[in-house]
């Protein structure tokens, strides 16, 4: 028996104004069928079943999660008092799940990615959890289809075997988001994968590595673990969690551990990390535009135009722009600067008068 943990506490700042603190990226219905969260749960539910699927999120998002997933077992939602990046987001559920379910292999994955070919996804996930039983930290990388500067990369080392025809490699190194020149080298080299942020391990193994490389985080987690299922549990979580180190699992553990292996995932995957990524999701008109909503354009080319409001958006004579009109605000920017939306949102968060537009 294996466990799945869906991480659903993020924000998705680069998709503002559609994504906000109270209605983040994972809640969005970009394709008008399922939200990212609903698609992730359906995908995982079919492999692990409802009672073996857990979800970690910020406590203020729990109501929204249950609204989108009305059949999700409420007792399988693990609530963070605040977001503290992925190392605490993974360590906290690891102690919680180990306490309640034992040291079962668990798949850990984000709630806001686009994945297709679910048959292949299932095959790779099942191989990853099998390998996690052997006390490895398993990460699933995606075979690149282009030089991409928006993703981190995983370098594959020597092949150590195969399970059900799926190869396993030692993880040689993590590489942060590269320059285009480096991304082209990685793509052409053939031994690099995109870092998808999907993992498999036993709680005991990831907690041992957190103890080794992130001792301050481990100390805080042990304080919480000591009071789980007691009347002190909530009080200690509220005291300890907000002061846990804010660090990613990649930087804090995976870049340092010698227990990591990587499995190539050859299923179509996209993290849809910013508005420019929609070019890989939606079809374009003859002028290269993506148009969603009540919009009238003239002499406009290579633009992404989205209007979520019940009023007309008129656009004339522009190129290479992203224009998003939503209930929280209107965003206009050059496509090349799509990654900079996060900087703008951070400015809003620091301004007491503007913060309400991202909440």
- pLDDT digit string, tens, across residues 157-215: 999 999 999 999 999 999 888 999 999 999 999 999 999 999 999 999 999 999 999 99
Structure tokens at 127: 């191989």
* Range 217-234 average pLDDT: 97
Residue 237 clears pLDDT 90, i.e. is over it:
yes
Task: Tell me the pLDDT band of 62, cut-offs 50, 70 and 90.
Answer: very high
What is the reported pLDDT for 150?
A: 87
pLDDT digits (tens, 9 = 90+) for 112-140: 999 999 999 999 999 999 999 999 999 99
pLDDT of the residue at 86: 97
Asked if 140 and 263 touch (Cβ cutoff 8 Å), the reply is yes
Neighbouring C-beta atoms of residue 68, cutoff 10 Å: 19
Q: Whole-number mean pLDDT of the chain?
A: 96
- Residue 54 and residue 41 in contact, taking contact as beta carbons nearer than 8 Å: no
Q: Are 113 and 269 in contact (CB under 8 A)?
A: yes
Judge residue 74's burial from the number of C-beta atoms within 10 Å of its C-beta, 0-12 exposed, 13-18 middle, 19 or more buried.
Answer: exposed
Would you say residue 8 has pLDDT above 70?
yes
CB 304 within 8 A of CB 279: yes
Gyration radius from the chain CA atoms: 21
- In this structure, of 96-100, 171-175, 337-341, the range with the lowest mean pLDDT score is 171-175
DSSP 312-325: -EEEES-BSEEEEE
Of the chain, the percentage scoring pLDDT greater than 70 comes to 100
Q: Indicate the Cα dihedral angle 126, 128, 133, 137, nearest 10°.
A: -160
Question: For residue 50, how many C-alpha atoms fall within 13 Å in the half-sphere facing its CB?
Answer: 7
- Distance between CA 100 and CA 320 in Å, rounded? 52
Closest CA to 150 of 115, 173, 178, 175: 178
Q: Which DSSP symbol is given to 70?
A: T
Eight-state DSSP code of residue 301? B
Q: What is the residue extent of each domain of the chain? A: 3-272, 276-357
pLDDT of the residue at 32:
67
pLDDT at residue 324 is higher than 80:
yes
* Cα 141 from Cα 266, distance rounded (Å): 9
Taking residues 250-255, what's their average pLDDT? 95
> Taking the chain, what is the end-to-end CA distance rounded to the nearest angstrom?
39
pLDDT beyond 90 at 31: no
Mean pLDDT of 315-325: 98
- What the block records as the tokens of 358 is 């991202």
What whole-number distance in Å separates Cα of residue 50 and Cα of residue 32? 24
By C-alpha distance, which of 318, 285, 278 is closest to 300? 318
Question: What phi, psi does 171 have (nearest 5°)?
Answer: -90, 115
CA atoms 253, 258, 260, 264: torsion sign: positive
- 3-272 placed in CATH 3.90.550.10: yes
CA dist list (Å): 226 to 102, 220, 253: 15, 10, 23
User: What span, in angstroms and rounded, lies between the C-alpha atoms of 62 and 116?
Assistant: 27
Kindly indicate the confidence band of residue 30, based on its pLDDT and cuts at 50, 70 and 90. Answer: confident
* Residues constituting the chain: 359
Count the Cβ atoms, other than its own, within 10 Å of residue 29.
14
pTM metric for this prediction: 0.96
Residue 40 DSSP SS3:
helix
Task: Report, as an integer, the average pLDDT of 219-233.
Answer: 97
| Residue 238 token pair | 């509220």
**Burial class of residue 15, CB neighbours in 10 A (0-12, 13-18, 19+):** buried
Q: Which residues of 130-146 are buried (b: 16+ CB within 10 A; e: fewer)?
A: bbbeeebbbbbbbebee
């Amino acid at each position: 028996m294996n466990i799945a943990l869906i991480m659903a506490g993020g924000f998705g700042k680069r998709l503002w104004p559609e994504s906000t603190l109270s209605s983040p990226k994972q809640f969005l219905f970009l394709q008008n069928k399922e939200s990212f969260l609903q698609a992730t749960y359906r995908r995982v539910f079919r492999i692990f079943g409802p009672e073996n699927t857990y979800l970690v999120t910020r406590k203020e998002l729990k109501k929204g999660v249950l609204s989108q997933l009305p059949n999700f077992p409420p007792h399988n939602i693990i609530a963070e008092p605040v977001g503290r990046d992925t190392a605490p987001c993974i360590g906290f559920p690891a102690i919680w799940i180990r306490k309640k379910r034992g040291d079962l292999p668990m798949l850990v994955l984000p709630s806001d990615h686009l994945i297709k070919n679910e048959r292949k996804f299932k095959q790779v996930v099942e191989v990853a959890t099998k390998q996690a039983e052997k006390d490895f930290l398993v990460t699933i990388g995606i075979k690149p289809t282009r030089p991409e500067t928006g993703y981190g990369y995983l370098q594959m080392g020597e092949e150590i075997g195969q399970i059900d025809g799926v190869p396993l490699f030692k993880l040689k190194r993590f590489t942060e988001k590269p320059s285009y020149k480096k991304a082209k080298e990685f793509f052409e080299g053939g031994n690099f994968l995109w870092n998808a942020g999907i993992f498999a391990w036993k709680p005991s193994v990831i907690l041992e590595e957190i103890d080794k490389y992130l001792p301050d985080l481990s100390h805080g987690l042990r304080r919480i673990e000591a009071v789980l299922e007691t009347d002190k549990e909530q009080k200690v979580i509220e005291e300890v969690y907000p002061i846990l180190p804010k660090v990613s699992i990649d930087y804090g553990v995976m870049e340092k551990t010698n227990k990591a292996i990587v499995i190539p995932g050859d299923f179509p995957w996209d993290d849809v990390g910013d508005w420019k990524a929609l070019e890989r999701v939606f079809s374009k008109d003859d002028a290269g535009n993506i148009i969603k909503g009540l919009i009238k354009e003239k002499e406009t080319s290579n633009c992404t135009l989205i209007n979520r409001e019940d009023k007309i958006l008129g656009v004339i004579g522009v190129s290479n722009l992203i224009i998003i009109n939503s209930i929280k605000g209107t965003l206009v920017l050059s496509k090349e600067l799509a990654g900079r939306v996060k900087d703008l949102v951070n400015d809003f968060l620091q301004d007491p008068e503007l913060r309400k537009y991202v909440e």
